[in-house]
């Protein structure tokens, strides 16, 4: 996708906030625990390489990505730290992962059996982390017997694989209700018992687990949403530190018009002005990741909450202004404007989703601008 560099809409990324959030979490870790910065999906929309650099500066020991190409992009940018691919991959890709020293999550034996001859032929060894499905229901081994069998297989294939890690993922660590979490812990303990000796990395924690179940973090954590300054629970649980949101989404008024009562705004005539009104146009739309569900939500224009009226278009939205504003007046969609704030969580609440989706859905067309605030 082409980046809209000549457009007023920008995602302003505060790398100082990334640094702060990582450094704060690192300070909370126990002696010898590593922090893997989760930078998949373009670092949750914040920019893969820039975020990875700031996280590394703050002490991140490695990275997690979802797909091979994200790992390759990190290697091409010169990162030499461990990189774990969290998603499932075809055995055909084993060579490229091994060549680039990418570690990969493995959740079934067939991957190992099919990748082994390919690796043997290439004379390469691939680092693997066994995924344990203790209740997430996504990828991984579900029974202690299966774990025993795959560990034995790895024992026979030491020329093709390095058994580097073992991990699980909790489905509800961000919840006040802990019974399902505890069920996962019980199953995890059962599965871990059959693994001896343990591999180099034993890791169970995403941000929520690290924040609210720190007894269960193994020797590395996979720190994602907290690094971006967002509380994984929304507002259900209080974060232990002081998270600093790293993204602001800003734009400008590019058109301002006075309309008479009865004038319709946008596709499908879904909004009709009740009075004579001032309407402003802002260059952001659903093709930028600003969902059509945000019709009726507000943006900040010179510190005023202004309702999005009419349907969200592909590239533009219209808002009702309290008065005439000059073209070029600053608009804040996420962040603070003249003392008022709209958070990614506010946007998510309105759109009936989670802030993870709001920030990671912003498309490449929105230019990312990097700043470092202290």
Ligand X SMILES: Cc1ncc(COP(=O)(O)O)c(C=O)c1O
Q: Which of 103, 160, 207, 251 binds ligand X (CB under 6 A)?
A: 207
SS3 (DSSP) at 130? strand
Length of the chain: 374
Our CB check for ligand X shows the closer of 37 and 273 to be 37
Handedness of CA 47, 52, 53, 54 (dihedral sign): positive
241 within 8 A of 230, measured Cβ to Cβ:
no
Query: What is d(CA 96, CA 98) in angstroms, rounded to the nearest whole number?
Result: 5
Q: CB of 207 within 8 A of CB of 233?
A: no
Q: Which of 17, 52, 86, 318 binds ligand X (CB under 6 A)?
A: 86
Q: Is position 142 annotated in a ligand binding site?
A: no
- Does 26 bind ligand X (CB under 6 A)? Our answer is no
Residue 315: which of 280, 355, 365 has the closest Cα? 365
Q: Is 365 annotated as a binding residue?
A: no
For the CB of residue 329, give the shortest distance to ligand X in the complex, in Å.
Answer: 35
Q: What are the phi and psi torsion angles at 317 (to 5°)?
A: -130, 160
Can residue 165 be called a binding residue for ligand X (CB under 6 A)? no
The answer for residues whose C-beta is within 8 angstroms of residue 241's C-beta and 6 or more apart is 21, 24, 25, 28
Instruction: With beta carbons less than 8 A apart as the criterion, state whether 44 and 359 touch.
Output: yes
Catalytic annotation present for 201: no
- 89 in contact with ligand X (CB under 6 A): no
Q: How far apart are CA 101 and CA 44, in angstroms?
A: 23
Region binding ligand X by CB under 6 A among candidate stretches 48-56, 91-99, 188-196, 205-213 = 205-213
Q: 356 catalytic, yes or no?
A: no
- The answer to whether 169 contacts ligand X (rule: CB under 6 A) is yes
Question: Does 225 interact with ligand X (rule: CB under 6 A)?
Answer: yes
Q: How far is the CB of 25 from ligand X (least distance, A)?
A: 10
Residue with token string 């946008």: 266
Residue 217 in contact with ligand X, rule: CB under 6 A: no
Determine if 229 is a binding residue for ligand X (CB under 6 A).
no
Instruction: Please state the closest distance from residue 208 (CB atom) to ligand X, in A.
Output: 6
Asked if residue 232 binds ligand X (CB under 6 A), the reply is yes
Q: Which residues bind ligand X (CB under 6 A)?
A: 38, 86, 169, 206-208, 222-225, 232
Annotated binding site for substrate: 138, 314
């Amino acid at each position: 996708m082409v980046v809209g560099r000549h457009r007023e809409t920008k995602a302003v990324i505060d790398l100082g906030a990334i640094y702060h959030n990582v450094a704060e979490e690192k300070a909370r870790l126990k002696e010898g625990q590593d922090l893997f910065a989760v930078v998949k999906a373009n670092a949750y929309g914040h920019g893969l390489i820039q975020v990875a650099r700031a996280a590394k500066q703050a002490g991140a020991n490695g990275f997690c990505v979802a797909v091979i190409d994200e790992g390759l992009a990190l290697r091409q940018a010169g990162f030499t730290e461990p990189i774990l691919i969290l998603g499932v991959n075809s055995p055909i890709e084993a060579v490229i992962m091994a060549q680039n020293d990418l570690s990969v999550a493995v959740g079934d034996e067939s991957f190992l059996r099919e990748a082994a001859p390919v690796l043997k032929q290439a004379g390469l060894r691939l680092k693997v982390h066994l995924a344990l499905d203790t209740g997430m229901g996504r990828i991984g081994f579900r029974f202690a017997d299966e774990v025993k069998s795959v560990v034995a297989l790895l024992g026979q294939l030491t020329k093709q694989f390095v058994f580097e890690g073992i991990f699980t993922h909790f489905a509800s660590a961000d919840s006040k209700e802990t019974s399902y979490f505890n069920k996962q812990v019980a199953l995890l303990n059962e599965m871990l018992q059959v693994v001896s000796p343990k591999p180099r990395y034993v890791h169970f924690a995403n941000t929520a687990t690290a924040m609210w179940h720190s007894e269960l973090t193994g020797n590395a954590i996979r720190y994602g949403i907290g690094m971006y300054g967002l509380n994984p629970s929304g507002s259900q649980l209080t974060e232990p530190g002081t998270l600093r949101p790293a993204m602001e989404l800003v734009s400008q008024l590019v058109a301002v018009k006075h309309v008479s009562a009865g004038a319709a705004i946008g596709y499908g005539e879904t909004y009709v002005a009740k009075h004579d009104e001032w309407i402003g146009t802002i260059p952001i739309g659903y093709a930028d990741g600003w969902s059509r569900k945000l019709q009726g939500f507000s943006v900040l224009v010179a510190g005023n909450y202004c309702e999005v009226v009419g349907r969200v278009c592909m590239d533009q939205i219209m808002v009702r202004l309290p008065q005439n504003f000059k073209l070029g007046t600053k608009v804040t969609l996420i962040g603070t404007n003249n003392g008022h704030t709209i958070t990614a969580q506010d946007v998510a609440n309105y759109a009936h989703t989670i802030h993870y989706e709001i920030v990671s859905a912003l498309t490449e067309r929105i230019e990312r601008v990097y700043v470092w605030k202290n």
